[in-house]
A and B are shown apart, each in its own frame.
Chain A
């Protein structure tokens, strides 16, 4: 058996020489995995592993986390601040002081000439919570523009808006442990194995211990849909119809939890009147799910002891995004599944710190879920910051997706982008390019100087990345976790916190206010502002040490609490002024850009597991990028055969906005009237998207657009594809 090889050579196995493991939290999606980064004796980060004792990931990491230590040495990092007077000139390197002086000067000039709101700020879901808080303080308190938002408008705005409408405040009420307690789970437009693989693992573990029905609503046969007990292959953009119809059956068959509804909610009557119109027979014709299935799912969900819903971009990125979220909340409210173990309405968030920006960045209001519209809130914050409350606007300004049109038509003259790349991430790239050209002053603050938007900028500020900094992230289940200083900032890049606090000193109000380069100082401010019995977002019981010890703490974690609370609203008390949740009627108006004779295909988009957002990071790590080094489009082989389109050939997709050349992958996982393109790639899917805005959340409908396909010269297409991106 051993072939007579008795003499053995020593075995060599790669040894990275790790001398120390440093604790931090993953900086990609919002699952919130605890990571240990291995450091060798030269101080280089050489390895990553999941923290075994962390409740979130229990030792696991996805492909992105496994290679996260390689981020520190990725190509394209910014070394020095860059400036130029106009976009036709070449950039010049400069020192931080000169750059920040110039930046403050430009902002002031624009504001003096065109009004305070003529300078806009768009940030991200990627930086640390302390940085968000500080940027908010700088923006609201010192710069004083009301056109300030985060790129979370592209991903989580609908969830925020839906939570606010239903419950009176943002904040996902459930947690991952709910998988272990639930008796039925519906996933709406959420493909966990691809987008949140570690959350998928938690779900899988729960299902292996105790099987419960899994229902997946998704137009594609994703791996989750394939593994589901029932796959509801819904027509794009019709989730609200399905949700109304589920409610119709539950109410019609007296399966609603009337006791819970009576005690804890308002609006049931109006709701019942509207869902009357959504009987399964009528609904089936619109949403494409047959009436028997609708009834079956409704009964299953209502009769389950505890039932929960999760959702991601399939719901949020729609013109009915906010309504979709409210619809899911409605479903859970009428079945009494909020704040229960295993009964919840849990949005699965996108970015590592989308929650941090929602909580503390003041993007849509003031820190700690306070709103501008409330005079008490304005007073409270102005007092704490030491400024005149009249300096604060009395109403929220423009959302990200409204800021760009305001630049287009000249109301906004200057823009500061922090860790976001609208050239790739915003719908209708052609329009974004045209818009950015109109700016008198564009500042890009990003870890990468090769981020595409830099070509339209006048100033580039090199930021430190992820664990080159110190602070906190909040994850999908409201868990605050620590990001620690694993490596020192690359070259002359600076932590975003440093940039914010140093810019603040260059404004009049900023000189009066407290700004610190030390994250913990800012965390203490946040703690102070979070205190309050009626506040759910209470982090006053946390400290950096305690957070790390517990591998993350969920809020509310009040002063003196050992741990945070796992769920919100368990007591049936909601943040609406009357303490009750709202069951909101949702009439459906079909305003999707639907396929027609000229543009016969639905265009859908989404993530792949190996990439994150616009690939500025993952596109540079070979062991991730190799799994999709170039964009591709899933297409059904039957419709491809009709058009003479071959597997692994290029086609030209044309929409009413523009065109994109992309390689075709034929697969039956997608319906005949749809194509699917991952959104990560520059100059690709967003050249095509319309991005109609949700009326409540202002989030664009990335997933419901119409395109047609044309054959192209293969050589030219291949060349165009190669030239379209640098990495």
Chain B
């Protein structure tokens, strides 16, 4: 696992049924592109998060294929529909096989 990987998610704690809400996610990750060289001129191998998904109560919101052109500390902002009370599940997939997860519960008034 890459060092100091920490997901952050901003989602509303409550919504009305059928409401569209904006979600922001940020994860600390170097996103080593595979294009850089170290001090000795050797290529630094690629090591990135290559996929990000957001689900709500098991249904897909967004599924992003990520390439080395995504900046360090990957950031996404997108909209989700909240049909009923439940939970978001966010998953980031690292090249090295690590999986980072975060979740956020949403109540419906």
- A and B physically associate: no
